[in-house]
Amino acid sequence: MSERTVQVTVNGVPHEASVEARRTLTDFIREDLRLTGTHVGCEHGVCGACTVLLDGEAVRACLLLAVQVDGREIRTIEGLATGEQLHPLQEALRDCHSFQCGFCTPGFVMTAVALLEEGATPNEEELREELSGNLCRCTGYQSIVAGVAEAVQRVNGSGGTAGSSVGSDAQRVEEISR
């Protein structure tokens, strides 16, 4: 099978690699670029674990071919922190003990980053809807919703979450963590 050269910027760093047409973006990121922060769950677009940002929009990397991102810009979980300084979303998720095993984490985080960077201030129902494309098998989702709601409040202002049960959950979790 013929291979194609793909040039892509990932987390601000330009990369070039030769790939088969059938190479998915997930495998390209993990195997060719050795950025293993992006996780592979179902490989057919159901679980959301491989979510990355393509030109700023959340997409499932397992449903894109590497040849389709030639000339485009990708952001992955590795691109969020600046040195030792966590992204405000990562800090909020840590403060709320949002995750357990960590398998679904990069997908949730990249989905939520896209939401935050749009300046969204979703209420609890809207937030649950936005996160519903990512599956978690540990937490029961409460802690993840609380963490993202906390990040929304810190980054985009109080928005629609004020007074909702999500806000108070986040506060309670924070108090416990202290």
Partner 1 sequence: MKPAAFEHHAAGSVEEAVSLLAELADEDVKVLAGGQSLVPLLALRLASVGHLVDVNGVAELTSISNGDGLRFGAVVRHRQVERSPEVAAANPLLAAAVRRIGHTAIRNRGTIGGTVAHADPAAEIPAVLALLDGSVEVRGVDGTRSIAAAELFDGYFTTTLEPEELLTSVHVPALPAGTGWSVQQFSRRSGDYGIVTVLATLARDGDGRISAARVAYAGVDAVPLRSSVAETALVGQTASPELWTAVGHDAAAVLEPSSDLNGSAEYRRHLAATLTARALQQASERAGGRA
Binding site for partner 1 (CB under 8 A): 1-2, 4, 20-22, 24, 27, 43-45, 48, 51, 54, 57-60, 62-65, 67-68, 111, 114, 128-130, 132-133
Q: What is the DSSP string of the chain?
A: --EEEEEEEETTEEEEEEEETT-BHHHIIIIIS--TTS--SSSSSSS-TTEEEETTEEEEGGGSBGGGGTT-EEE-GGGSSBTTB--HHHHHHHHTT--SS-SSHHHHHHHHHHHHHTT----HHHHHHHHTTS--SSS-SHHHHHHHHHHHHHHH-SGGGTTSHHHHHHHHHHHHH-
Q: Tell me the closest approach of the beta carbon of residue 175 to partner 1, in angstroms.
A: 30
Q: Tell me the closest approach of the beta carbon of residue 127 to partner 1, in angstroms.
A: 12
- C-beta of 43 vs 73, nearer to partner 1: 43
Q: Tell me the closest approach of the beta carbon of residue 157 to partner 1, in angstroms.
A: 21
- C-beta of 38 vs 95, nearer to partner 1: 38
